[in-house]
Amino acid sequence: MKRIFTHLLALLLLIAIPLAASAQDDRGSKKPGATAPRTATTKKDNKKSNSTGSKKSDTKKQSRSNQPSQRQSSSQSHSNQPSQPRTVQNVNTAPIANRTFTVNGVSFTMVGVQGGTFTMGATAEQGSDAYDDEKPAHKVTLSSFSIGATEVTQELWQAVMGSNPSRFTGNLQRPVEQVSWHDCQVFINKLNALTGERFRLPTEAEWEYAARGGSKSRGCKYSGSNSLGDVAWYTDNSGTTTHPVATKSPNELGLYDMSGNVWEWCQDWYGSSYYSSSSSTNPTGPTSGSSRVHRGGGWYSYARRCRVSYRNCHSADLRGTSLGLRLAR
């Protein structure tokens, strides 16, 4: 009896040990290299999702591999263009041909000015004559434009407006004067209606670039010469009156009377410190102000005020016997 009991006990031990080991594995003990069920399930699920989206994912990878990173691109740009804006927009420096227009029997010529980069303001040749509002001298890049070969004559103003507001009459080839900035806008609107063109006043930057001779500039103090009497009617030679346009020598671009005869209204508002914050590309002046810019000096002006960098301004409704205009396009 005792022998039978011993055999039964041994048999029970043989069965119990494997069951205990199996129970321990089910409670979560991990063997070396075993993968958790959740991880295996995730990989399986990911494999299914990738099978439907792999084309899109591959395309993105190829796109990235074929293009330099933004950081790399930026670094290359900075190394090629030190101290320059990241992008220069809306600059077209293609040459523009001179063109003559006729309005009610009166002809006038617009001179093409090829765009480019120049230093605006108190450049070296201006010396101690430069005022604070001409500083700092700064680089400006302009698109190509056209500007009148001469100031607007009394003949052209009369052909468009039907009247002549000028004080100094007797010769319709004199520049029109006694016109305010607002009067100029009315004249230009009527001229555009008659011609189908888009004439306007020049910006201050365009005016100075043209006065300096554009890309043909010789770096003169006045427009076309360092000797003012060669190119301008001013206080020393005018006889206190205006003179017919184009009776002095032109500047490098073939523009007459950019210095002297009458001041020329520009489109811009005036800002005495504008040069410190001016855009470097096609600047158009401050966004607001109390007066408009006019440039070039007039028949009564001293030499210092006939310089290419000299800035002046008045209220937009002012009319004066030395205030005229030059067209741009």
CA atoms of 187 and 106, how far apart (whole Å):
15
What's the CATH code, domain 99-324?
3.90.1580.10
Helix (H, G, I), strand (E, B) or coil at 119: strand
CA atoms of 20 and 313, how far apart (whole Å):
102
Residue 284 Cα distances to 57, 68, 118, 301, angstroms = 47, 36, 16, 26
- Collect all residues with Cβ–Cβ distance below 8 Å to 309 and sequence separation of at least 6: 120, 121, 122, 123, 126, 130, 134, 208
CA atoms of 312 and 314, how far apart (whole Å):
7
SS3 annotation, 129-152: HCCHHHCCCEEEEECCEEEECCCC
Tokens of 225: 């010469």
Which pLDDT does position 263 carry in this prediction? Answer: 98
Query: How many C-beta neighbours within 10 Å does residue 77 have?
Result: 12
Which pLDDT does position 194 carry in this prediction? Answer: 98
What tens-digit pLDDT sequence spans the chain (329 residues)? 445 455 554 444 444 434 343 333 333 333 333 333 333 333 333 333 333 333 333 333 333 333 333 333 333 333 333 333 333 458 999 999 999 999 999 999 999 999 999 999 999 999 999 999 999 999 999 999 999 999 999 999 999 999 999 999 999 999 999 999 999 999 999 999 999 999 999 999 999 999 999 999 999 999 999 999 999 999 999 999 999 999 999 999 999 999 999 999 999 999 999 999 999 999 999 999 999 999 999 999 999 999 999 999 999 999 999 999 999 99
- The alpha carbon of 195 is separated from its chain's Cα centroid by a whole number of angstroms, namely 28
Which pLDDT does position 89 carry in this prediction? Answer: 57
Which pLDDT does position 63 carry in this prediction? Answer: 34
| CA torsion through residues 49, 50, 51, 56, sign | positive
Which pLDDT does position 32 carry in this prediction? Answer: 31
Rounded to two decimals, what is the model's pTM?
Answer: 0.74
